[in-house]
Structure 1
C-alpha cells in the first residue's frame, strides 16, 4: 500500500486543484496556523473541530476555496492593495488563510469573542503577517470600513449578514457568504428586510470534502445606497 501524502503535499495539491498556486513558505504558514489552532483549542475552544485531519480539510481547504472567486471579483485589483473584511471570523477562517495567501491584501478579522480575536492577533505576529488585523467587537458597532469584499463563513443568515455587515462594504462591493447548501429558505427574508439581493450562487468544489459548498454573492439592489 502506498504511503499517504504528507499534509503539505495534500494542501499543495488541493490548492492547485482549486486553481491556486501557493509558495512553499505559504503552505508551511498554513500548516503552522493549523498547529497553533490545535494547540489553542486545548484551552480556549476556538473551533468545534479538534482532529488535525478535519481541520486540514474542513477549515484550510475550505477557506482556500474562496481565493479564486475573490481574486476574480477584484479583477485588475487582485494583485494590488485591497481591503477584505472577515465578519464573525472566529479563529480566523477564512481571514488568516486569505492573509497568508495574499500578503498584498489587508485582511481585517472581526469577532465578538475576545479569545478568538486574541488568537488571530497572535497569528499575525507568529506568522509574520503585517497585513492581518483583528478586532474584538460586534460588527454593527464599528465605523464603516469601506471594504472591497466582506466575507463570512457560518456567521449568520443572509438577512442578518447583510443587515449587520452590509454597511462595511464600499460602493459597488459585494458581500460573500460561505454556505453549505444553497440557502433558498433565506432568500425571502433577505428581500423583505434588506436592500441586498442574491446576485449569484457559485458552487465550490473542495478537494477531499464530501459535502456541498457554495459561495453566495450579495449586491445592493439598484437604486439603494
Structure 2
C-alpha cells in the first residue's frame, strides 16, 4: 500500500492541470476519502481497486476530470445551486468528489447496494458534506429528481442509462456518461431506440492515467 503523504500536493497539481483550483482543505478531504475507502474495503469489498495509488488516479482524478466540462456548461447561467444526480454511484464516484468541490450544488448518490450507500453516508459525515445525500434504491423506482445533471460511471450501455435514469433529468438538463473510448455502436443504438441524442463527446484528460476517457453529453431530442 502506497504512502499518502504527498497526495494533497498531487491532487492540487492534478487539479491545476485540469483547470481546477483545489485548496488544501479539499485536497486533504479527498485523501481522507481514500483512507475511508481503504478501511471499508477490507470488510465490504466496495471497489475492485485495493492500492491507494490506483484509487487516487482512477477514482479521485477521474472524478475530478468532469468538473471543468460540467462547470463550463452549467455556470454560463447566473444560477449556481444546481442539482446533480450520480446514478449507480457505488462508493460515491463521482458524486462525493463533485459535492466536495461544488458545495453550492445539491448532489444525490443513488445505488441499489446498501453497503455502498452506508459507506457514502459515513464519508458524507466525516467530510462534512451537508449538500450530499444518499439514496439506497434502484434508480427506476424513485420519484424523478428534475436534475440539471444526471451522471454515471457505472452503466454498461447508453441505452440502459437513458432508459432508466433519463426520467430524472430536468427539461433542459443533461445525461452525462463517463466512458473509455468513444462508444460509437452504443450511440447508434441510443438514437434508434430512445428519444435521447448525443450532443457531443468530450475527451477527458486524467492526470497520471494512461488510458482514453471521454464524457458523453446527451439531451432529449429537440432540446439542443
Category of TM-score, reference length = shorter chain: over 0.9
Change (3 A) 1:84 1:207: same
CA contact (8 A) 1:204 1:214 kept: yes
What is the CA deviation profile of residues 178-225 of structure 1, one whole-angstrom value per residue up to 9, with x for unaligned ones? 0000001101221122100110000011110000000000011118xx
Give the root-mean-square deviation of aligned CA atoms: 1.5
Q: State the partner residue of 1:71.
A: 71
Q: State the partner residue of 1:91.
A: 91
Change (3 A) 1:78 1:70: farther
Q: How far has the Cα of 1:155 moved from its partner?
A: 2.2
Q: State the partner residue of 2:218.
A: 218
What is the CA deviation profile of residues 87-138 of structure 1, one whole-angstrom value per residue up to 9, with x for unaligned ones? 0000000000001111111100000111001111111111100000000000
Q: Runs of 5+ in structure 1 lacking a partner?
A: none
Runs of 4+ in 1 over 3 A off after TM superposition: 76-79
Q: State the partner residue of 1:123.
A: 123
Q: State the partner residue of 2:19.
A: 19
Change (3 A) 1:169 1:185: same
CA contact (8 A) 2:89 2:154 kept: no
Q: How does 1:6-155 map to 2 (within 5 A)?
A: 6-77=6-77, 80-155=80-155
Under a length normalisation based on structure 1, what TM-score does the superposition of the two structures give? Answer: 0.95
Q: State the partner residue of 1:206.
A: 206
For 2:193 and 2:47, how far apart are their aligned partners in 1? 31
CA contact (8 A) 1:92 1:120 kept: yes
Q: How far has the Cα of 1:143 moved from its partner?
A: 0.6
Under a length normalisation based on structure 2, what TM-score does the superposition of the two structures give? Answer: 0.95
